[in-house]
Structure 1
Amino acid sequence: MKSRYEELKEKLYRLGDLSLGSIQKRMLTCGDPDCKCARGEKHGPYYYFTYTDPETGEPAQISLQESEVRELRKRIENYRDFKEDLKELLDLEVELRKG
């Protein structure tokens, strides 16, 4: 149990950058009645990073360049791994303290 505890601590230190949120991929219409999107061929894809604004607690979004999506996905995955591993680490710490 102690070796798993140390392994998790080390892993958490090496995770890298974290982001809390999600990526939305959208196909959009422009509103021009003569455009191809009015006939069902939408524009896009467009990518958005959605998150909860830490100051207001309200949902927020930021548009992304397609070139940013891959790195941001990795950061979001890192955050998910961090949460899972931190919970396991804290559970192990409680068990280790119980003896």
Structure 2
Amino acid sequence: MCKMKSRYDELKEKLYRLGDLSPGSIQKRMLTCGDPNCKCAEGEKHGPYYYFTYTDPETGEPAQISIEESEVRELRKRIENYRSFKKDLQELLNLEVEMRKG
């Protein structure tokens, strides 16, 4: 029980320190423009272009936002923070239940 309580407290503290969170993922794409005279018509695509993909909280549907390459590094950190948050929160909730069972 003492070990569970210690881990519980550790997880709570970790969750408070995570920082900014972003649920979703980053997609890197090479695109064609549709101009038959363009180099991409021969296979040399344009890009890379980056997109943040996520689930729209209002509709529950997949959505995406175009992002600049300069934003990718910071957004990846936020996404990793969110994944860590979800994992640690689930463990925290499981420990809460186990500690209540006695």
TM-score (norm 2): 0.93
Residue of structure 1 in register with 2:32 after alignment: 29
Residue of structure 2 in register with 1:15 after alignment: 18
Residue of structure 2 in register with 1:43 after alignment: 46
RMSD: 0.8
SS of 1:37's equivalent? Answer: helix
SS of 1:87's equivalent? Answer: helix
Return the alpha-carbon distance in structure 2 between the equivalents of residues 56 and 6 of structure 1.
35
1:57 aligns with 2:60: yes
Q: Which runs of 5+ in 2 are unaligned?
A: none
Residue of structure 2 in register with 1:79 after alignment: 82
Return the alpha-carbon distance in structure 2 between the equivalents of residues 83 and 10 of structure 1.
14
Query: What amino acid is the match of 1:20?
Result: P
Equivalent in 44, 66, 91 of residue 69 of structure 2: 66
TM-score (norm 1): 0.95
CA shift at 1:16, angstroms?
A: 0.5
Return the alpha-carbon distance in structure 2 between the equivalents of residues 12 and 40 of structure 1.
46
